[in-house]
Amino acid sequence: MLGTFPFLLSGEAKTWMNELDEGTITSRNEMREASISRYFSLAKFRHLLNEIHSFHQLDRETLVDAWLRLKEMLHTCYGHGLTKRAIIQIFYRGLDDPTKGILDTGGILLYNTPNEAFKILVDKVLLKIDFSDIT
């Protein structure tokens, strides 16, 4: 039921998975819960999740930098369980008014479906990245 997930692991995580009794974990949800409890204390997980929920754009932070920072926060908080809609809402509500205005060109971002909002956001972010800086 876990498919190729065990093949994605390495190091300590792979050793831990291999040492589990067969049948201990039978679903992706069980794997998520087991890995969170193994590698994150509940206090750390709650702290990271609270940071995500209280996300706000920093002074002089661009749309691109704010989005990349939130994505890193989400990546760090493995198993956060937030939906696309929740992520868009957290991000949008944490932005300053001028940045919200950039995203609301053509209509209020939050009135779109989560998939449409993500596409708008990614398109706006990609348009602002200067590819000449990439080597």
Residues 91, 66 share a domain: yes
Number of domains making up the chain: 2
Whether the CB-CB separation of 125 and 64 falls below 8 Å is answered with yes
How high is the pLDDT of residue 9?
A: 66
Please tell me whether residues 34 and 59 are part of one structural domain.
no
Task: State whether 89 and 122 are in the same domain.
Answer: yes
Tell whether 14 and 77 lie within a shared domain: no
The segment with the largest mean pLDDT, out of 25-29, 38-42, 61-65, 101-105, is 61-65
When pLDDT is averaged across residues 56-75 and rounded to a whole number, the result is 93
Enter the pTM of the model: 0.68
How far does the chain reach from its first CA to its final CA, in angstroms?
41
Q: Are residues 30 and 96 in the same domain?
A: no
Alpha-carbon gap, residue 34 to 40, rounded angstroms = 10
Same-domain check for residues 27 and 55: no
If one counts every other C-beta atom within 10 angstroms of the C-beta of residue 98, the result is 9
Of 122, 126, 129, 52, residue with least CA distance to 91: 52
78-127 pLDDT, tens digit per residue, is 778 899 999 999 999 999 999 999 888 878 889 999 999 988 888 877 66
Query: Are 65 and 96 members of one domain?
Result: yes
> Who has greater pLDDT, 33 or 118?
118
35 and 50 housed in the same domain? no
Q: In angstroms, how far apart are the furthest CA atoms of the chain?
A: 55
User: Stretch 4-33: mean pLDDT, rounded?
Assistant: 73
Range of the domain at 32: 5-39
Judge whether 85 and 114 are in contact, CB under 8 Å: yes
Does 121 share its domain with 80?
yes
Both 23 and 66 in one domain: the answer is no
| 120 neighbors 63 (Cβ within 8 angstroms) | no
